Amino acid sequence: MSLAFGRHAVSIPGPSVIPDRVLGAMHRAAPNIYEGKLIETTYHVLDRLKAVARTAGNVAMYISNGHGAWEAALVNTLAPGDRVLVLATGRFGKGWGKMAEALGLDVEVMDFGTTGPVDLAALSDRLSADTAGQIRAVMTVQTDTATSVRNDIAGIRAALDAAGHGALLLVDCIASLGCERFEMDAWGVDVMVAGCQKGLMIPPGAAFVFSGDKAHAARDRLDRVSPYFDWRPRHAPEIYYQLFCGTPPTHHIFGLEEALTMLLDEEGLEAAWARHACLARAVWAAVDAWGQIGEMRCNIADRGHRSTAVTAIHTAENAAGQLRTWCEAEANLTLGIGISVSDGLAAPTGDSLFRIGHMGHLNPPMLLGTLGTIDAGLKALAISHGDGALAAATAAMVAPAARGIERAAEYRRAPQGPPGSNGGRKRFATTLDPITPPEIKDANAEGGA
């Protein structure tokens, strides 16, 4: 007998669960793409995305996955032959570096392995040694989805500043935006890339590149940029069409409007960060309980360097694959595959590693269902493990959840403030000026409304 009936559960690190409200917002006929509500909604969404990134800079939205955002970030700031320093802590930092190499950049990789973050002391030494300033950009990820490590982005900026180095700081937040604290302007990040299918709770297909003044100056020195990826017309379009170099991703825009309302207005960004941290601690507590007997453990030993969006978990050889198969076939639960890093270093293989995504639209019943199903799978497969995982997970939720409820109540009691103001709830979102559509700019220039 199989129990794999009822609603399919997905606990992978993206695409994440899509809220029914978001699906509902997207479930509509094709809109007018020349005028009307879509244009107004697009500029509103772009404003709100900047609030999530905590930046007063610009944002360009692309019809692509995260790899498209990687390429857009590179071609708008760097020219073939420029040297870049890649700080790798897993598969995805290296992947971005390989793309840079394919674009003709001179790529240097500092590989920090697969079980820990960027070593800031080693980075400081490398930057101090670059007395000629040959390194034009430092590239890294905030969360590497393969290893579930979280890098100290503020610390990387501090290392650049302490060395007096002028390199751009480019950061991949594809797995972390909306889930982990990220402060683009306060942390001195010049370019940040993100996708829509993880913390932003939208089906794959849209990606974003956020940029500041230093990145814009880098773009100014370039003779030629791919017309599609060039962010200049997207930053300051003369007509709506230029925002996307063609037809807009209409239904993604409507979905984003709903998702950002949920994230910024109803929950609050800082409350969302706290929720992710609380749920992550529940996962870690369960893994610790399982690991009392047998070989299960979190890939990142130091909790301070673990992502709160995804957890990579070691098992005995071949146990991870067996567990994933059982959960899918017998319980209708999809777990994240293990992604090995073939770099000659000690790294887990896909057969002894699986991942739990705890990002985006997620609450205790959903997460405890995942953990309970894994526990059942371990028992069904006779995989050696300790008991008490569910009790440990619920205990890890209780105190932080109580503080989160109090925090959310305070947020909801705060006055909303008039439209366009930054009072009340807006303190949790943004203090930034809104983007003004071209037709409104023109009206203002002519003395209109």
Instruction: Tell me the whole-structure pTM to 2 decimals.
Output: 0.89
Structure tokens at 440: 């409104």
Task: Please give the structure tokens belonging to residue 391.
Answer: 């009790």
pLDDT at 424: 36
The pLDDT tens digits for 7-40 are 999 999 999 999 999 999 999 999 999 999 999 9
Q: Is residue 186 part of a domain?
A: yes
Cα separation of 434 and 266, whole Å?
Answer: 20
- What percentage of the chain exceeds 70 in pLDDT? 86
Mean pLDDT of 343-371: 83
Residue 41 and residue 28 in contact, taking contact as beta carbons nearer than 8 Å: no
Q: Tell whether 68 is covered by a domain.
A: yes
| Residue where a domain terminates, one of 244, 265, 286 | 265
CATH of residue 359's domain is 3.90.1150.10
pLDDT greater than 70 at residue 342: no
Domain end point (choices 197, 231, 265): 265
In this prediction, residue 340 carries a pLDDT of 67
Q: Which of 378, 394, 410 is the last residue of a domain?
A: 410
Q: Is residue 371 part of a domain?
A: yes
* pLDDT, tens digit (0-9, with 9 covering 90-100), for 138-176: 999 999 999 999 999 999 999 999 999 999 999 999 999
Quickly state the pLDDT bin for 413 (edges 50, 70, 90).
Answer: low
Residue numbers of the domain that contains 121: 21-265
Same-domain status, 358 and 236: no
Contact (CB, 8 A) for 323 and 351: no
- Lowest mean pLDDT across 56-60, 352-356, 426-430: 426-430
Residue 329 falls inside a structural domain: yes
- Average per-residue pLDDT in the chain? 90
3-state per-residue secondary structure call for 356-412: EECCCCCCHHHHHHHHHHHHHHHHHCCCCCCCCHHHHHHHHHHHHHHHHHHHHHHHH
Residue 152 maps to a domain: yes
**pLDDT value, residue 439:** 45
Same domain, 203 and 303: no
For residue range 349-358, what is the model confidence (pLDDT) as tens digits? 568 999 999 9
Whichever domain contains 112, its CATH number is: 3.40.640.10
- Claim to verify: residue 223 and residue 300 sit in the same structural domain: no
Give how many domains the chain has, as a whole number: 2
Of 416, 428, 59, which is closest to residue 272 (Cα–Cα)?
A: 428
Same domain, 283 and 371: yes
